[in-house]
Amino acid sequence: MLLAAAPAQASNRLVDIRLYSLHKLHSINLEPEGEGVTVGERQLKGPAKATARGQLVVFDGGVKAGPARTVKIHAPLKGVWLSGPALPRRLYTGELTFSVERNQLKIINSVPLETYVAGVVTGEAGDLSQLEAYKAQAVASRTYILKHLRNHIGEGYNLCDSTHCQLYSGLGSISPKAREASDATRGELLFYKGEPAATFYHSICGGRTETMTFVWPFEDKPYLVSVRDGPPGKPYCSIAPGFRWKTKIYYTGLTRLARQAGWILPDETTRGMRVSSWGPSGRAAELEIQTQRRTVKVTATDFYHGIGRRAGWTAVRSTMFKILSGKDYVMLDGLGSGHGVGMCQWGAEGMARKGFKYRDILKHYYPGTETGYD
């Protein structure tokens, strides 16, 4: 199903993205990047501030608007910068709609699909260097976008700008290589039996990707199975920084984290931990935590997320680890980073360095799929 050119309507479609989705915003600063930024019929000529007042939005400074339930900004040319205390300064183009939800600002950016793809590729693959790896990421990200356009439809937009959907930081950080990859694969998607594939991806597989059903309780996908990442003993992703890692967790810390996660009771203390079952890739699938009076089973995915949310995502980088026990601690001796399902981004980089093209990379990590256009 390989076609010569992308349909214009697919690549030109608009996608609605919620900005600063992980932040609670009461106000935000705006600054035009050149001319052409308008609020209604008025031009934004200098710095301005949008503020939530009750359930209404008010603009002050370079332009005055509101109080109103929604205020729209049009930034079709160079865009508008958004910033604020503890907020990253980011550049956005297209249409931005400001409203108030639960006394906080809600900002939706309507942006062309391919612009969004270039921004996502920059955010998700910025550590890579090879154009073919960027192209593989562009196709995977574009397919993921179209597969998940209804993620937040009940909240009034398509996708959020965090890794819950895909990381998007606007136009200011888009790299030339990401833009080139988006343009070179414009409109191209990954299909399995005529339907867009579920193109999950992760940073470093550690030598072998994982079958999806051993990570999440989703319906089985024949193309999301464990695949070996290159020759034995020399995985494609072994070039990645942080390919190997170790983390020591003292039982006092494990007790605190396990109580916070609800795995053990408030009066229980951890005395040990072991891997009780493994997935096809060699990743831990289930763990057992021993307390002073019982053994508690926790899926490795829950452990990975539970520790990550409470101790930082570098504490347990993946579920591909062995457990070494000490007197008052456990040592996790691990490989890789991320959930391990689908495309390994650093594996794609390694394959590209060896001369593989992006379609070869995609077929390797998603066996049985084909590239094409919707």
Q: What is the pLDDT of residues 233-271, one digit of tens each?
A: 899 999 999 999 999 999 999 999 999 999 999 999 999
Token code pair at residue 331:
């040592």
Q: Sign of torsion, CA 118 122 128 129? A: positive
pLDDT > 90: what percent of the chain? Answer: 77
Task: Return the pLDDT at 6.
Answer: 44
Query: Phi and psi of 66, rounded to 5°?
Result: 85, -175
CA 321/CA 114 separation, integer angstroms? 38
What is each CA distance from 154 to 69, 72, 112, 150, 158, in whole angstroms?
18, 20, 21, 8, 9
Mean of pLDDT values over 343-356: 98
Band (41; pLDDT cuts 50, 70, 90): confident
Count helices and strands in the chain by DSSP H and E runs = 8, 22
Task: Return the pLDDT at 2.
Answer: 33
Is residue 167 a contact partner of residue 123, using CB atoms and an 8 Å limit? Answer: yes
Task: Return the pLDDT at 8.
Answer: 45
Q: Is 260 helix (H, G, I), strand (E, B) or coil?
A: helix
pLDDT of 5 over the 80 cut: no
Location of structure tokens 């229980």: 268
Instruction: Kindly write down the DSSP assignment for every residue of 277-312, as one continuous string.
Output: EE-TTS-EEEEEEEESS-EEEEEHHHHHHHHHHHH-
Location of structure tokens 């990200």: 141
For residue range 58-117, list pLDDT tens digits in order.
Answer: 999 888 888 999 999 999 888 999 999 889 999 999 999 999 999 999 999 998 999 999
pLDDT of 172 over the 60 cut: yes
Is residue 361 a contact partner of residue 133, using CB atoms and an 8 Å limit? Answer: yes
Is residue 186 a contact partner of residue 121, using CB atoms and an 8 Å limit? Answer: no
For residue range 261-299, list pLDDT tens digits in order.
Answer: 999 999 999 999 999 999 999 999 999 999 999 999 999
Residues facing 247 on adjacent strands: 332
Which has the minimum average pLDDT: 6-20, 23-37, 189-203? 6-20
pLDDT of 25 over the 60 cut: yes
Location of structure tokens 């400074």: 61
Sequence-ordered alpha helix ranges (H) in the chain: 8-11, 113-125, 131-147, 176-184, 251-261, 300-311, 345-353, 358-365
Q: Which of 144, 125, 123, 146 is nearest to 134 (CA)?
A: 125
Strands 42-43 and 159-160: unpaired
pLDDT of 348 over the 90 cut: yes
User: Cis link prior to 67 (omega < 30° from 0)?
Assistant: yes
Band (11; pLDDT cuts 50, 70, 90): low
pLDDT of 369 over the 90 cut: yes
pLDDT of 7 over the 70 cut: no
Band (125; pLDDT cuts 50, 70, 90): confident
Is residue 157 a contact partner of residue 111, using CB atoms and an 8 Å limit? Answer: no
Location of structure tokens 């339907």: 195
Which has the minimum average pLDDT: 107-111, 161-165, 292-296, 334-338? 161-165
